[in-house]
Amino acid sequence: MRLWGLAEEDRIVEGKEGALILPKTSCDCKTELFDEITALPLAGEALSCDGCGVCTASCPVAEIITGFNPRSFIKTLEAGALDEVQKTAELLWRCVSCQACTHRCPRGVFVEDFLKAAVKVLRRKGLMEKSPAELFDELFTAEVLEYGKVEPVELIFSWLELQGYRVVRDPLLRKPLPFAGEIPPEIKKLVLKPLKGLRLSFVALNAVRLLVHPRSRNWGRVKHVLRKALGEV
């Protein structure tokens, strides 16, 4: 019999204290996990979840990855059963943030925000490894923090480098050279394909942009405040 997911003090434990009888609960539960997640911005709406499954039925990732199930993630984390949470942690980061779940939830749960908040808390508690998605979020955010703007081509190459691809950069400005190095063929094709149709001026402008990273005005001061905000949830 599984009676997991109930608060410690309400759980039924069979046998006398010290007797060699296992409690009826099947595993360790951390009910405070859910409290911590729902304390984060927008994630609190998950308290309204009635488990109807509209999020999972709307989810494009659930169609592809067996076991990816936003409804079950919410309910598992609410119960806090650690063995189930462990399985959840392995899948959770694969959410593509398409918002279809939040769009249709009849209880107004911000499902996507809840999933991202859950990642944050599980990471904080050491219940989850750093995922590639988090690594990319950090890379993206670091570029925004540094310049205020993102240079997509630069971002792509920085990511590939982080993944162990050999990216060739010019020796002076350390800018990636899209034509050289060993990068996935479809990305190379993609970088080169538009050049055929683009006007020469487009190509030239893009090249300049790659050399001089675009930057927002007064970013030095904004950066300071943004960095502080980033540290604060």
Partner 1 sequence: MALPKGMRKPPRKGKIGKKVAYFKGCALEGPARDYDASARLVAKALGLELDQLEDFNCCGSLHVKNLSFKASLLLGARNFSVARAQGHGALVAPCNGCSFALKRAERLLSDEGKLSELNRLLEEAGERPVDELPQAHHLLEWLYNEAGPEEVKKNAVRPLKGLKVACYYGCLYGMPRVFSGAYPHASKEEELAVPYGRETADDDEHPYYMDALLEAAGAETVELGPYATSCCGSYFSLVEPELARSMALKVLKEAHARGARLLAVACPACKLSLETALARHEDLKLSVVYFTQLLALAFGHPPGSLGLTEEAWAG
Partner 2 sequence: MKKVLVVGGGPAGLSAAEALAGLGFEVYLVEKEDKLGGLPVKESRYKLFPYEKSPEELLNPLAERVKEKVRVFTGAEVEAVLTDRPPFDVRLTNGETLRVDALVLATGVKSFDPTRKGELGFKLVNGVVTNAQLEAMLARNELKEPGSVAFVFCVGSRDLQLGPSYAHCCSYGCAHAGMLALELKRRFPSARVYCFYTDVRTCSTLERRYYLLPQREGVRYVRGRVARIYEQNGKPVLKFEDTLLGRPSELAVDLAVLVLGLEPSEGTKKLARLLSLKQDESGFIAEEREGVFVAGSCKGLLTLQEALTDGKATALRAALYLKGEKT
Residues in contact with partner 2 by the rule CB under 8 A:
50-54, 56-59, 62-63, 69, 71-72, 103-108
Q: Using CB under 8 A, pick the residue from 55, 160, 167, 183 that binds partner 1.
A: 160
Burial status of residue 101 (CB atoms within 10 A of its CB: 0-12, 13-18, 19 or more): buried
Residue number, 59 or 118, with CB nearest to partner 2: 59
Task: Identify whether the C-beta of residue 160 lies closer than 8 Å to the C-beta of residue 228.
Answer: no
Residue (of 146, 160, 161) closest to 213 by Cα position: 146
CB of 31 to partner 2, least distance (A): 21
One-character DSSP codes across 65-85: STT--HHHHHHHHHHTBHHHH
Confirm or reject binding of residue 24 to partner 1 (CB under 8 A).
no
Three-class secondary structure of residue 231 per DSSP = coil
Out of partner 1, partner 2, none, what residue 50 binds, judged by CB under 5 to 8 A for its kind, is partner 2
Distance CA 231, CA 233 (A): 6
Residue number, 13 or 91, with CB nearest to partner 1: 91
Q: Using CB under 8 A, pick the residue from 96, 173, 177, 180 that binds partner 1.
A: 96
Distance CA 143, CA 136 (A): 11
Residue number, 25 or 56, with CB nearest to partner 2: 56
Q: What angle do CA 57, 138, 166 make, to 5 degrees?
A: 105
Interacting residues with partner 1 between 45 and 74 (CB under 8 A): 60-61, 64-65
Out of partner 1, partner 2, none, what residue 106 binds, judged by CB under 5 to 8 A for its kind, is partner 2
CB of 111 to partner 2, least distance (A): 12
Residue number, 10 or 232, with CB nearest to partner 1: 232
Residue number, 15 or 106, with CB nearest to partner 2: 106
The tokens of 100 are what? 């279809």
Q: Using CB under 8 A, pick the residue from 36, 78, 84, 151 that binds partner 1.
A: 151
**Residues contacting 229, CB < 8 A, separation 6+:** none
CB of 70 to partner 1, least distance (A): 13
Interacting residues with partner 1 between 98 and 127 (CB under 8 A): 98-100, 102-103, 108, 110, 112, 116, 119-120
Can you give the C-alpha Rg of the chain in angstroms? 23
